[in-house]
Amino acid sequence: MAGETVFSQMWSAYRGVILHSIVTSFGLDFLVHDQHGGDVDTIHGVRESGQYKNSRNAADYEGRGGYDSVAYHHNDAYDSTVRAARDTHAFFEDAYVPGNRIYYGKASGLGSDRRANLDHVISAHEIHDDRGRVLAGLDGVELANQPSNLQFTNERLNKSMSDMTIEEYIQWRVDRGDPLPPDVAAQMREKDSAARKEYERRISEAYYSNDKFIMDAAAAAGKRGIEMGLRQALGFVFIQLWCACEDEVKALPSGVTFADCARAVGTGLQRGLDNVRTNYKELFAQLEQGFTAGALASLTTTLINIFLTTDKNMVRYIRQGYTTVVQVGNILLINPDDLLLGDQLKSAMVSLTTGASVIAGTAVGNQIAKTPIGQDGKVGVVVQNFCASLVSGLISCTLLIMIDRSEFIRKVVERLNVYGSVEHEIRETSEAFIALAAEIAQYDMTEFKDQVVKLDGYARQMLCADDDELHEILLDTFEEFGIPLPWEGDFDDFMGNPDNCLVFD
């Protein structure tokens, strides 16, 4: 019985928090469309998967044209490098083979290991078909013939490499039983690393500073923000409806009929909708927090995918994490409920607890999805969501009971509540001045606040009303506040008499 009392107290205090986290995370998460590799094309992502988020980028790659060896091996930069070597009429160092002297020309008696060839360190064919290069919109011929990618080596080595990458060539030599000397392999890797570093720098600078990438990232963040905002707002509406219906059904006496239950549910739904309208500010706050969390999660995912690829599960963890971060930030920085410092920290701890439990539940659901029953086409998704929700709910309830019943936490909260937040002190001072002004003016503050709430309600109705409805609402407003009408009798008849005048008291 004592355990039930503790649980009922905890459930009464945190029912909305627990249900909202579970419903939005597992019931309404279908509103958010996570993608493997995030929402924006990145150089790393298109190279790894060969798939594109933006169809225009896919079309650009398909339309890159065929590989033209002549164009890559006879542009101005390539030809001028060859001429400079030929005009020296001297031997020079082989870039790949330490100690080997090579000569560019037709000197008689030179073997293929002494005749110089100009090599693309990163092969021209690889550059032409590189998805990252096409995504950045850079010219392949120009990139291939940058000084950092042109090295002279001996003809035998160059022709045996063909279009292989240096790593592929080194391994090919090992596989055929004729490995390169260690110093040659090391020298080739060094040249390859330097060339690729410069190549990647040019591509990254071109793409990630391009308006195309920035606009794609902004659009993806906005879309994900809207999805998350709707998820959070719909979750708030659902919880208001559920809690109102639950309260109505619990209030029924024993021995009621099904019709009585149905009427109670109907009453609860109506009361829940009234609660949503009354708490419209909280609804918009949930929408705003969801949008912020979704946008930040999308931008973070895009940033991560520049360096590595995130799977859908990781994207979901990031979203859940940002949802919690935004909620905690709202409590600690904005403090909309005007909590004292200790209560602020306790409320933030509750948000962190529910957020962590959701991430734990999501992780369990992902593991269930890998099992045979989780992969079943009919019941797999149901079992996965059930297990995830169960784990999340159990962890939430357990940790919240600990927070709520902990003597240590209670003492810390009491100690910290002595120090009010700056916002709280400002609000207290403001309310004190308002109360003093009301006392001097002999004005009833309670009545004034009630009138403000009523006026706000009428104002919101007017914003959504047509002309006929607006007329009725204005009449109701005048009647509610006891304001004398500025005309007598029928308004149209009154205004039809040119001798009449509107009188405002």
pLDDT in tens, 365-415: 888 888 888 888 778 888 888 888 888 888 888 888 888 888 898 888 888
Round to whole Å and give the CA distance between 290 and 477.
36
Q: Specify which residues 153 forms β-bridges with.
A: 117
CB atoms closer than 10 angstroms to residue 316 = 22
DSSP label at residue 332: I
Token representation of residue 232: 């959070």
**Residue keyed to tokens 């930040």:** 296
Closest CA to 229 of 289, 146, 172: 289
Q: Specify which residues 101 forms β-bridges with.
A: 93
Confidence of residue 121 (pLDDT cuts 50, 70, 90): very high
Round to whole Å and give the CA distance between 121 and 213.
29
Instruction: Tell me which amino acid residue 195 is.
Output: A
Question: Residue 101 — φ and ψ, nearest 5°?
Answer: -100, 130
Cα 7 to the center of its chain, rounded Å: 35
Q: How far apart are the first and last CA of the chain?
A: 64
CB atoms closer than 10 angstroms to residue 254 = 4
Residue 73 near residue 128 (C-beta atoms within 8 A): no
135-161 pLDDT, tens digit per residue, is 999 999 999 999 999 999 999 999 999
Residue 152 near residue 118 (C-beta atoms within 8 A): yes
- The pTM for the full model equals 0.72
Domain ranges in the chain? 67-208, 444-496
291-311 pLDDT, tens digit per residue, is 999 999 999 999 999 988 888
Token representation of residue 196: 């690729």
441-465 pLDDT, tens digit per residue, is 666 667 777 777 777 777 888 877 7
Round to whole Å and give the CA distance between 385 and 35.
19
323-346 pLDDT, tens digit per residue, is 888 888 888 887 787 788 888 888
